[in-house]
Amino acid sequence: MGCIQSFRQCCDRPKNTNVRISLPAVCFVWQIAMIILFGIFIRYNEESDAHWIEHKTSKNISSNIENDYYFRYPSFQDVHVMIFVGFGFLMTFLKRYSFGAVGFNFLIAGFGLQWALLMQGWFHSLDPMDGKIKIGVESMINADFCVASCLIAYGAVLGKVSPVQLMVMTLFGVTLYAVEEYIILSLIHARDAGGSMVIHTFGAYYGLSISWMLYRPNLDQSKHRIGSVYHSDVFAMIGTLFLWMFWPSFNSAISDHGDGQHRAAINTYLSLAATVLTALAISSLSQKTGKLDMVHIQNATLAGGVAVGTAAEFMLMPYGSLIVGFCCGIISTLGYIYITPFMEKYLKIHDTCGIHNLHAMPGVIGGIVGAITAAAASEDVYGKEGLMNTFDFTGEWKEMVPTRQGGHQAAGLCVALCFGIGGGIIVGCILRLPIWGDAPDNSCFDDEIYWEAEEGNGSGNYVYLFFYMILEVLIKMFL
Amino acid sequence: MGCIQSFRQCCDRPKNTNVRISLPAVCFVWQIAMIILFGIFIRYNEESDAHWIEHKTSKNISSNIENDYYFRYPSFQDVHVMIFVGFGFLMTFLKRYSFGAVGFNFLIAGFGLQWALLMQGWFHSLDPMDGKIKIGVESMINADFCVASCLIAYGAVLGKVSPVQLMVMTLFGVTLYAVEEYIILSLIHARDAGGSMVIHTFGAYYGLSISWMLYRPNLDQSKHRIGSVYHSDVFAMIGTLFLWMFWPSFNSAISDHGDGQHRAAINTYLSLAATVLTALAISSLSQKTGKLDMVHIQNATLAGGVAVGTAAEFMLMPYGSLIVGFCCGIISTLGYIYITPFMEKYLKIHDTCGIHNLHAMPGVIGGIVGAITAAAASEDVYGKEGLMNTFDFTGEWKEMVPTRQGGHQAAGLCVALCFGIGGGIIVGCILRLPIWGDAPDNSCFDDEIYWEAEEGNGSGNYVYLFFYMILEVLIKMFL
Amino acid sequence: MGCIQSFRQCCDRPKNTNVRISLPAVCFVWQIAMIILFGIFIRYNEESDAHWIEHKTSKNISSNIENDYYFRYPSFQDVHVMIFVGFGFLMTFLKRYSFGAVGFNFLIAGFGLQWALLMQGWFHSLDPMDGKIKIGVESMINADFCVASCLIAYGAVLGKVSPVQLMVMTLFGVTLYAVEEYIILSLIHARDAGGSMVIHTFGAYYGLSISWMLYRPNLDQSKHRIGSVYHSDVFAMIGTLFLWMFWPSFNSAISDHGDGQHRAAINTYLSLAATVLTALAISSLSQKTGKLDMVHIQNATLAGGVAVGTAAEFMLMPYGSLIVGFCCGIISTLGYIYITPFMEKYLKIHDTCGIHNLHAMPGVIGGIVGAITAAAASEDVYGKEGLMNTFDFTGEWKEMVPTRQGGHQAAGLCVALCFGIGGGIIVGCILRLPIWGDAPDNSCFDDEIYWEAEEGNGSGNYVYLFFYMILEVLIKMFL
């Protein structure tokens, strides 16, 4: 007990937000480490190496267009936009935290993707011949996916942590992600093309657990900065729309060539369309005069994309996608109305962006939908070869049957939950240490802590204008 | 007469903008209807079904890259961006209607695309074997196209209608579109890859007719909210630019594989470039000191893309595209300067976004250019097979000749006009009923009617800042 | 001497910013010239002509997917977004020059790409058979590339020139670019896929030289308009992010099919990621309390993409890309802190957007990195055929060896520098003539000079609000 007590006391020391030493130090040390590790481990794969021309001949590939690059690069770019513009701008809704939203999102994504290439490479694409990781376009997509889970987690702690804490959170988040992904996809052999479990469930619970560990009892001192201004809400819509539009690419980016990618895109497209309608409907119902709330439009409309992630490449059927989207729009919006305030008040989890409603719940639903769809798969619907391909019943998994696959999917969901919650609690403990430069409770959600204010910025400008006007009035009065 | 009189009186009852019952009801009923209809009718097509692998073998397709997905998906995503970000942000220019612009655009596009998949499916891709509609990436593009026509129509009534009215307008708009498209493309056998006639002419006249029917004589009570603020104009430029940049994808998205898509992209690219110059030139000429007007830059620069829609896949020649763009930049900008005020004053058509200048006139020009280009086609220019391919002179149209094709193109244009105007008048009548929750004349163009205002929003914020400053000044004065 | 004196006096006449005659005249004359020249010279190439179907048969091409369109169109669209949204929004950071940034960027890009198609066509794709220029998707990418160099140059003079000057600058810039590109790529046979030398080095020094020639000694009269407001910085981040995200497409857009494009994308992706970390680190180090500066985040994070341009398609190795990005992030940020003020004070070069740090220095570094990587190439790393393909050691360059190729790369860099500086000085002289309608020193960086102010724009709005509030207060006081 005494130990915990002293840990607490240690954590409650006055805050110092100066990150002039720690932030550059972390950036430099980690970037140099990346260079060294990349030098040792990372090489181009067959399709991006200059030997491709020989490889092509030896494998009897008829044309350059068969290079995986042409199958996946357009989707990669869409995913890339989601990571940097989508997640970045989605979080700009706060009235004075747009720099932090977009800027720190940029920072942790830039770092995270390098670390992800290494971690995922060690688990998935280590070449046994020479001990090197071979990367190509699919590795880049996977690295972006991995980073997405950390950015989701960032949503829960937006405005309450320092950039150094975010870097630490990303370092551990990527590591945990790679392990969890390896267990779920390779050991358990669950399928998760759009990452409902692997990315969203894990990422959201990781972030929520950290937010719980970092609970600030006096956060209402910064209450007046929670909330948006008119144009910050419009900025956030940029994020929302780019996420919404490119989600079909997200869910189809790494699924099977041909019908797999095609089907995943269609399912996601439909699910998202249905979500928009039900999210708006519930939003309107929740207000006395039927007015809509931008928070719901910005977030809940995306829940359908999350929830259809696992099952997107399966034969979910167009109406199945609509049903998933229909339900998630309702659940997610209700989450914003009832669950987020409840969690803050009773569970002491403050969730700035409401990731519980946008990623956690839909992610779990997505895992369950995936398990059911997999268990219900039949040769009738998929065809013999189609079933084998879709669920990858090859090699050591040759004897697998759909019903058992359903169980494996469910097991995967549990692993994601455990890693998210467990990992988040541990990392949250580390982040409570008073060395990371986070802001005191009365200075949260404020860009002025970590960003150099331009002379002519927002409020300053108004003050200037105000005195200018006063002067004008006085001059007019006395002349 | 008495009947019309009483209809009028009925329509002129005081307005009630509470949509708490109607909006959720419409959303839920229609979404549930969609699920049921999708369940009955919609299935994956051969290229997105898990049986693709068998289909591939049976059709002797050598590689997965031959799946239509890889031909069209990049264009689809570009079109998708145009629909949601392009149209959405283009309309954010009003100082206090950005939420409505982007949010309702989102709502009606989300609903419209589902209904479009069904309507277009019944007409175009109903499988006679099993009575199901088979969808794939091309269906998604077509659904987005169909939605585009409704979003164009929204531009005419922006700020003056309720979300429920928009949903009704979209329901009928999509229906009319599907019929009109079937008549023009299938019965008349006109070609219209970029939809100058089918999408733009129809959509624009549909919207203008509705706006005429919903004419508000006392709209000048909301006059002070028409117009932009500095940053709302910058937001609108996001819409403009994404429309402008991705228009080559729009016009090439569903044209023929190979040279068809390639040529359509080049023609659109060139036409749009020429439009920018002439639109700016006329804009500058129209002001005493040669200043430019953002309204022209935001809108008229896009007219070239509309006008080259039909002919984009033809051998219009690069200089032909430039000429089309050149003329449309001039006409569209002149439209903003002279025709829009004229229409409002004398024809009682209030056109918020000036869609008459951006879509209606260029659409008609596009139809005419298409007819001329088609009529002038020759085997010399196209080659024998090229001519057959480009104009689809196969099957029952085997005997068709270019000159007659020109006539058919012109007939298509007339059909689009009739459907737009006729449909718009009928739907406009329905929308005049006083049950839809639209705003009174003095509350148009105002987000506060349908959107929950954040505490710290725009003007409220200034008021707060103002009193805060007064306080500061007083404190300093007395201490 | 007398001649220079009188030139000076002539240039120092009072400024007249009325462009009502000159701007439309320039636009119309040049657009008409373009139409005529396109009519004479420009035709579709084999892959976009309706004869493609015959060409396909004759060349034994098995499928439409082998059309270059499908190899390059997704990259083209990404590049297109960089040109119009990326460069356009990157420059919106100034508090009252967002219209000029985005609008003039639009204007000069729209004109420049037409002129570039012609100029580049004459040098590179003139068909000797019929004397026509044959264009396709690669021509469009190259035209966009060419325009990029002029937009970079615009960054140096942002806010200080008139749209007419910009048009003149673009006309000469594109011409110089085409010549320089021909010399570097064709005569010297240097490789420059991402244009570190051809685009960035040339464009930046071209702009800086012009800015030097147009030096305004009394620019501090407009000082209060240099600097950003809160939301203008967020707008600029839209530009930054779209440039950052799509840079892999930029560097890979015209490299070899297959492994070339694949590798270029990977290298750029990695280099940019490393740059983010070091740019932020230096930015934080440079402030007393470790705060970050938005100027650095908006610009320096992109330096890695510039610097890896030449070598992106080579076997630079993943760690090599990281090292390039690492160094450039540091150098570019230090440039913003030390070199830009130095250049302004001592060299009399005012560089509004800091293109010296973002394009000039990283471009030169990119040229050097390219030379070293080329010189160090070996059959071991590339394979025999790979080496030949990557460096295009075919035809008359059959006997070329990597070490000599390194020398040619270095020669290319020198040519780019000479053309940039020399061309800029000459064009700058022309632009000093007092006939172009540029603003006086006290009205720079102000949209009101060239843009029609909306009644309800920024500051006007505050004034209105202010009097409204005063009124409210007075009413409350006296009642």
* Residue-level pLDDT, tens digit, chain C, 479 residues: 556 666 666 666 677 888 889 999 999 999 999 999 999 999 999 999 999 999 999 998 888 999 999 999 999 999 999 999 999 999 999 999 999 999 999 999 999 999 999 999 999 888 888 999 999 999 999 999 999 999 999 999 999 999 999 999 999 999 999 999 999 999 999 999 999 999 999 999 999 999 999 999 999 888 888 889 999 999 999 999 999 999 999 999 999 999 999 999 999 999 999 999 999 999 999 988 899 999 999 999 999 999 999 999 999 999 999 999 999 999 999 999 999 999 999 999 999 999 999 999 999 999 999 999 999 999 999 999 999 999 999 888 988 999 999 999 999 999 999 999 999 999 999 999 888 888 988 889 999 999 987 644 444 445 445 555 565 556 556 55
Cβ-Cβ contacts under 8 Å for B299 (sequence gap 6 or more): B90, B240, B332, B336, B353, B354, B357, B358
Two tokens at C340?
Answer: 């830009």
Q: Is the pTM of this model over 0.90?
A: yes
Helices (H) and strands (E) in chain C, counts: 21, 3
User: B–C: how many Cβ contacts below 8 A?
Assistant: 247
Helices (H) and strands (E) in chain A, counts: 21, 3
> Is the Cβ pair B258, C52 closer than 8 Å?
yes
What pLDDT shows up at residue A428?
Answer: 95
Question: Considering CB atoms only, which of C71, C263, C386 is closest to A53?
Answer: C386
What pLDDT shows up at residue B224?
Answer: 87
HSE at residue B102, side-chain half, CA atoms within 13 A, is: 31
What pLDDT shows up at residue C289?
Answer: 86
In angstroms, the CA C466 to CA C471 distance is 9
Residues of C in contact with B274 (CB under 8 A): 31, 34-35, 110, 114
Domain ranges of chain C: 74-435
Question: Where does the pLDDT of residue A224 fall: very low under 50, low under 70, confident under 90, or very high at 90 and above?
Answer: confident
Calculate the CA dihedral of residues A153, A225, B98, A452 and round it to 10 degrees. Answer: -80
Nearest Cα to Cα of residue A113 among A88, A87, A78, A149: A149
What pLDDT shows up at residue A289?
Answer: 86
Inter-axis angle of helices A163-181 and A22-41, nearest 10: 30
In angstroms, the CA C229 to CA C232 distance is 5
Regions of chain B short of the pLDDT cut 70: 1-13, 454-479
What pLDDT shows up at residue C76?
Answer: 96
Average pLDDT, chain A: 91
Find out if CATH 1.10.150.20 is the number for domain B74-435: no
What pLDDT shows up at residue B350?
Answer: 94
> Is the Cβ pair C257, A28 closer than 8 Å?
no
Chain C stretch 237-296, residues whose beta carbon is closer than 8 A to a beta carbon of chain B: 238
Chain C stretch 94-123, residues whose beta carbon is closer than 8 A to a beta carbon of chain A: 95
Question: Where does the pLDDT of residue A11 fall: very low under 50, low under 70, confident under 90, or very high at 90 and above?
Answer: low
- B18: how many CB neighbours lie within 10 A of its CB? 17
Instruction: Specify the higher pLDDT residue, A113 or B17.
Output: A113
Residue of C nearest to A36 (CA): C319
> Is the Cβ pair B73, A292 closer than 8 Å?
no
Q: What percent of chain A has pLDDT over 90?
A: 79
What pLDDT shows up at residue B479?
Answer: 54
State phi, psi for A478 to the nearest 5 degrees: -90, -5
Position A478 pLDDT exceeds 90: no
Given a contact cutoff of 8 angstroms between Cβ atoms, the answer to whether B271 and B118 are in contact is no
Question: Considering CB atoms only, which of B92, B140, B238 is closest to A269?
Answer: B140
- B130: how many CB neighbours lie within 10 A of its CB? 8
Cβ-Cβ contacts under 8 Å for C421 (sequence gap 6 or more): C205, C206, C209
Residues of C in contact with B288 (CB under 8 A): 20
What pLDDT shows up at residue C4?
Answer: 65
Chains that touch B (3 or more CB pairs under 8 A): A, C
- Over the range A128-147, which residues count as b (16 or more CB within 10 Å of their CB) and which as e? eeeebbbbbbbbbbbbbbbb
Cβ-Cβ contacts under 8 Å for C343 (sequence gap 6 or more): C349, C350, C351, C356
- Say whether residue B84 is in contact with chain A using an 8 A CB cutoff: yes
Residues of C in contact with A469 (CB under 8 A): 462-463, 466
Two tokens at A288?
Answer: 């006395």
Question: Considering CB atoms only, which of C228, C259, C291 is closest to A50?
Answer: C259
Residues of A in contact with C230 (CB under 8 A): 96, 98, 454, 457-458
Given a contact cutoff of 8 angstroms between Cβ atoms, the answer to whether C97 and C446 are in contact is yes
Two tokens at C233?
Answer: 């910085």
A356-385 pLDDT tens trace: 999 999 999 999 999 999 999 999 999 999
In angstroms, the CA C6 to CA C15 distance is 17
State phi, psi for C127 to the nearest 5 degrees: -80, 120
Cα separations (Å) of C406 from A50, B95, C410?
18, 56, 6
Given a contact cutoff of 8 angstroms between Cβ atoms, the answer to whether C56 and B258 are in contact is yes
> Do the bridges between strand B133-135 and strand C42-44 make them parallel or antiparallel, or are there none, so unpaired?
unpaired
- Say whether residue B230 is in contact with chain A using an 8 A CB cutoff: no
- ipTM reported for the complex, 2 dp: 0.92
- Say whether residue B442 is in contact with chain A using an 8 A CB cutoff: no
In angstroms, the CA A247 to CA A251 distance is 6
What pLDDT shows up at residue C461?
Answer: 46
Length of chain B: 479
> Is the Cβ pair A228, B28 closer than 8 Å?
no
Question: Where does the pLDDT of residue A214 fall: very low under 50, low under 70, confident under 90, or very high at 90 and above?
Answer: very high
